[in-house]
Structure 1
Amino acid sequence: MSYLATFLVALFLALPVAPALADQLPQSPLNAAPEAAIVYPKITLFSTSWCPHCKHAKEYFTKKNIPFINRDVEVDTEAMQLLTGKYQSQAVPVIVIGDDEVILRGFNEKKFEDALDKVKKK
């Protein structure tokens, strides 16, 4: 029992010293700059709800935190008109990247990343 009492007294006496020692330890600065956010060009995905390639594209964009606008051509008549008129396509997915409108038909991760890099470099 005396060992326990001695230990508790020693612990009690050491407590006021511990906060003083903590002040002497090196600290990381609190005002460290956050990492720069990645800036993406405007990305529009023309899709349907049942298309497996469209689903893959949506999942990929979401997983990579790539912002995109989804235009479901089955419920959005304006999107269908753009798809068939301006972009001359009867199939989905069609992905339009950036102001220069780089157009990808279908979805392939590598081709998308290559096109995205090309648009970002402009």
Structure 2
Amino acid sequence: MRILTTVLLAVALVFGSFTAQAGELQQSPISPKSTPKLKYPKVVLYSASWCPHCKAAKEYFTRNNIPFINRDVELDPAAMAEVTDKYKSQGVPLIVLGDDAVVLKGFSEARFEKAVEKLKKK
């Protein structure tokens, strides 16, 4: 019992020493000037769960930290109506950039990035 108490006391002292040192470390504040500018416009992806091109788009957006809104046309009747009526499309994926500034039917990384660059220049 005495050995256990000694070991626990030693561990507590060592742990306390590390936490005290960690508390002394200074962190620099985040400057609003150094925060990155928004790289991508608003991205809305109209998709379906069975669609391989939709899956590729989602994976690309996720892998590249591109924020996007996914609207599954099978689960959301309003999304299906927007695809067919507003955007006059019969297929997915359909990608809308900005406030309807660019509408891409289908998905390819190159076409997506080209559309984003074109939109940035406006």
The residue matched to 1:104 in structure 2 has which SS? strand
The CA distance in 1 between the partners of 2:91 and 2:28, in whole Å, is: 52
- Provide Cα deviations, 1:42-76, integer angstroms capped at 9, x if missing partner: 11000000100000000000000000110000000
Aligned position for 1:72: 72
The residue matched to 2:88 in structure 1 has which SS? coil
Q: CA RMSD in A?
A: 1.8
Q: Between the two proteins, what is the percent identity of the paired residues?
A: 59
The CA distance in 1 between the partners of 2:98 and 2:69, in whole Å, is: 12
2:60 partner amino acid: Y
Aligned position for 2:84: 84
5+ residue gaps, structure 1:
1-28
Based on CA coordinates, which of the two structures has the bigger radius of gyration? Answer: 1
The residue matched to 1:67 in structure 2 has which SS? coil
Aligned position for 1:45: 45
Give the length in aligned residue pairs: 94
More helix per residue: 1 or 2?
Answer: 2
User: Which runs of 4 or more aligned residues in structure 1 lie more than 3 Å from their structure 2 counterparts after TM superposition?
Assistant: 29-35
The residue matched to 1:57 in structure 2 has which SS? helix
- Provide Cα deviations, 1:12-49, integer angstroms capped at 9, x if missing partner: xxxxxxxxxxxxxxxxx945754524342111000000
5+ residue gaps, structure 2:
1-26
Normalising by structure 1, we get a TM-score of 0.70
Superposed, 1:1-122 pairs within 5 Å as 30=28, 33=31, 34-122=34-122
2:117 partner amino acid: D
Distance 1:57-1:37 versus aligned 2 partners, 3 A rule: same
